[in-house]
Structure 1
Amino acid sequence: MRILKSNPYLSLFNTFLVDSPLPANINYFYGFGSLLGLVLVIQLVTGIFLAMHYTPNIEYAFNSVEHIMRDVNNGWLIRYAHANGASFFFLCVYIHIARGLYYGSFNKPRVELWSVGVTIFILMMAAAFLGYVLPWGQMSFWAACVITNFFSAIPYLGPDLVEFIWGGFSVDNPTLNRFFSLHFLIPFIIAALACAHLIALHLHGSNNPLGLNSNIDKLPFHPYFTSKDLVGFAIFGIIFSYFIFFQPNLLGHPDNYIEANPLVTPAHIVPEWYFLPFYGILRSIPNKLFGVITMFVAIVVLYILPFLPVSIIRSSYFRPIWTPFIWLFFFNFLLLGWIGSKPAEDPYILIGTLSTIYYFSSLLIIFPLITFIENILFFVSSNNNKRKLTS
């Protein structure tokens, strides 16, 4: 331990991962940040090994994936770990964001922490979409066609922008090459931002479930919280291994095991499950341009949450008005995911429209209004208590 503190290089590791003081009452939900770091390492390592055997050419891409699965030693394991790792990455990040919303971790002074986290989330979605195209199966090809065509709705620049993304006049070999290059690059940017996220976390320290000042009740990260993280890693490893070895294709689409054919359109084009809530928002708007804008705004709106009215009491534990609405927001988000997996027809369009309205109303109207009301009630209650004490 003395070496960790005295060595100029190891002291940084000691500051962030050994002696870092954390609130004594944080629970297992705070371990999802560490889980995300673990999954990021898995994705980086497996992605590098897959890139060694993958061929970014429309004539060979599908067969190169099959070659990895059948001929490369343990290639099936690497590919299934990478494919399922993407789903687990998003599962962990959705829980991580939900925990931040529930416990008020997005409030000031943690603006930098929240903003970097939202940026990582956006880059994750970009990397996941690019990676989904690489196997060059039926769903990969048609998802690339549908998603990239959304940019054509941009006035004046739309068609030229789509051709720039494609590298030509259709989704073809230049498109696949560009997507492969970006898919390989973005995870390293995410890794750099994850380090920035960790640094931002240490600027003001971790929040805690009670949302109270915990400066007088803190414990070092090791061994008190590393033991909690190891429990989380063990549970994650068991569930992750089950999917890899027993249900590797459960979270994927069977059409993606058919080689891409531009002449045959799938009956129902569906993105991966982690895109479905935002895909549901897109499909709920009849106007193409407005739908694309709404889908992107649904993600970008997370940036402004710290700048809306800040509650004096952070945690949902002590906010009886806020708590049912935050749970309703979570349920509504799951409902949007369900709508995104359904055909674009009634009654799914109507339900999706109402859910989209509630999604934005919650973030921009309901939550700030509840915060304002709760702050007034807090001041009234505090003043009444002071009068009782002085009388």
Structure 2
Amino acid sequence: SVEHIRRNVNFGNVLQKWHAVGASFFFIAVYIHIARGMYYGSYKAPREILWMLGVAIFLVMMATGFMGYVLPWGQMSFWGAKVITNLFSAVPFFGETIVTWLWGGFSVDNATLQRFFSLHYLLPFVLAGLIFLHIWALHVSGNGNPTGIEVKSDQDTVSFHPYYTMKDLFAILIFLIVFCAFMFFSPDYLGHPINYVEANPLSTPAHIVPEWYYLPFYAILRAVPDKLLGVVAMFASILILFILPWLDTSKVRSATYRPIYKQLFWLLVIDCIVLGFVGANPPEGAWLVVGRIATIWYFAHFLIFLPLLGLFETPKPLPSSISDDVLSKSAAKSLPAAQPAE
């Protein structure tokens, strides 16, 4: 068990903390990466395949993380597995069969734990394959940039070393400092205390919540009163990212030159944070109302605002090249401040 690893295996306490906290920080990095791609329009042509592979990686990550969350076999792990797997029972005709197959029986039990352990071990190999394809697609289409303009000459590029290596090394060091602070001083801060209570099928927790990185989608699930429609909405909130390159009809990639889209992007970020808070609280009273409003806004962003923005938004003038954009910004910063008239 996880407690056996933490208490009896040499350096097991550090390894388990590293793994648990690392999962949360992996999702933090991925969410930042997705937000950056959406802000700079990295999903637009010719990088559709690159974007879709990234979304596939995100889906496999979520499946791997969920199955790993069940393995401690605490109260929240057990009931989280029971609630989430029960969602598949809403599928017409085959729902109960799918749930029985996932459980390995007629209830969440040892067979479920063994299946989830096997999948938690095997899915990272699928993840590694998708990451390889993601990197391949990146080399085929080339990486994006904050201007959203394609490279036109050697002046628009810089060498990988030392520019990218030093920038990435600095980001990695900052990331590791925060990661180590959590791992050594607050390894359980992002978890649930009740998950240290052994799983008991006869005692239901007062409030069942998943890990924090699933909370926005959990809020969308609970915002819909119908079980089947709630499951559809939850999966649709993730799968909609696959068709994002075709939902955004604007010819301009970067939000730097799209004033209305920039505002809508930050409103979407706020909306996702609100959904996270809603998912962490019981679905009743004001939380339920806020969750439904936030869910409507989430889908409206992708299905209404993005298609219409391409028709009505007037973007700022684009620079002729990446180098012109960089040089103009450098020149503006180097100009002396205007002196007041005497």
TM-score (norm 1): 0.79
1: distance between equivalents of 2:262 and 2:18?
Answer: 37
Q: For 2:248 and 2:103, how far apart are their aligned partners in 1?
A: 43
Q: Give 3-state SS (helix, strand or coil) of 1:219's partner.
A: coil
Residues of 2 paired with 1:372 and 1:346: CA distance? Answer: 39
Q: Return the match for 2:86 from 123, 128, 149.
A: 149
Match of residue 195 from structure 2 = 256
Deviations 1:262-313 (A, max 9, x none): 1111111111000000000001000001000100000000000112244222
Q: Mapping of 1:196-207 within 5 angstroms?
A: 196-207=133-144
Query: What amino acid is the match of 1:204?
Result: S
Aligned to 2:29: 92
Aligned to 2:158, what secondary structure does the other structure show? Answer: strand
Whole-angstrom distance in 2 between the partners of 1:321 and 1:96 = 22
1:171 counterpart letter in structure 2: V
Match of 2:260 in 1: 321
Name the counterpart of 1:132: 69
8 Å CA contact retained: 2:249, 2:306: no
Q: Could you tell which deviates more after superposition, 210-219 or 266-275?
A: 210-219
Which runs of structure 2 are paired with 1:211-230 in the superposition (5 Å)? 211-216=148-153, 217-230=156-169
Q: Which residue of 2 aligns with 1:374?
A: 313
Question: What are the ranges of 5 or more consecutive residues in structure 1 without an aligned counterpart?
Answer: 1-63, 380-391
Partner of 1:168: 105
Q: d(CA) in 1 for partners of 2:97 and 2:149?
A: 52
Secondary structure at the counterpart of residue 15 of structure 2: helix
Question: Contact 1:151–1:162 (CA<8 Å) still a contact in 2?
Answer: yes
The answer to whether structure 1 residue 67 and structure 2 residue 4 are counterparts is yes
Q: Indicate the SS of the match to 1:198.
A: helix
| Count of aligned positions | 316
What amino acid is aligned across from residue 308 of structure 2 in structure 1?
Answer: L
SS of equivalent residue, structure 1 residue 321: helix
Deviates more, 1:284-293 or 1:304-313: 304-313
Distance 2:104 2:160 in 1: 49
- Determine the structure 2 residue equivalent to 1:245: 184
Quote the Cα distance in structure 2 between the aligned partners of 1:108 and 1:191. Answer: 25
Structure 1: which amino acid aligns with 2:142? Answer: G
The C-alpha deviation readout for 1:332-375, integer Å capped at 9, x for no partner, is 01111110001010111111111111101101110121122236
Q: Tell me which amino acid in the other structure corresponds to 1:295.
A: M
Measure the CA separation in 1 of the matches of 2:316 and 2:17. 53
Q: Match of 2:277? A: 338
- When structure 1 is superposed on structure 2, of 96-105 and 212-221 the one drifting more is 212-221
Is 1:110 the counterpart of 2:16? The answer is: no
CA contact (8 A) 1:107 1:310 kept: no
User: Which residue pairs with 2:20 in the alignment?
Assistant: 83
**Offset of residue 215 of structure 1:** 3.5
Counterparts of 1:99 and 1:377 in 2: how far apart (Å)?
Answer: 20
**2:250 counterpart residue number:** 311
Structure 1 counterpart of 2:183, which letter?
I
CA distance in 1, matches of 2:190, 2:315: 46
**Aligned counterpart in structure 2 of residue 365 of structure 1, from 283, 304, 307:** 304
Deviation at 1:213, TM superposition (A): 2.3
TM-score computed with the length of structure 2 as normaliser = 0.90
Structure 2 unaligned spans of 5+: 319-342
The residue number in structure 1 matching 2:328 is: none
- Determine if contact 1:103/1:314 at 8 Å carries over to the other structure: yes
- Distance in 2 separating the partners of 1:342 and 1:376: 40
Other structure's SS at 2:313 match: helix
Note if contact 2:75-2:197 (Cα within 8 Å) is conserved in structure 1. Answer: yes
Structure 1 residue runs of 4 or more that deviate by more than 6 Å after TM superposition: 375-379
Change beyond 3 A, Cα 1:279–1:334: same
Q: Which amino acid aligns with 1:291?
A: G
- 268, 284, 287: which is aligned to 2:223? 284
Deviation at 1:376, TM superposition (A): 9.0
Equivalent position SS for 2:243? helix
Q: Distance between the aligned counterparts of 1:187 and 1:323, measured in 2?
A: 35
Which secondary structure does the structure 1 equivalent of 2:230 belong to? helix
Q: Provide the C-alpha distance between the structure 2 equivalents of 1:196 and 1:207, rounded to a whole number of angstroms.
A: 17
CA distance in 1, matches of 2:190, 2:260: 36
Q: How far 1:155 moved relative to its partner?
A: 1.2
Map Cα deviations across residues 87-139 of structure 1 (whole Å, 9 max, x no partner).
00111111100001101101111011000000000000000000000010111
Shift of 1:220: 2.4
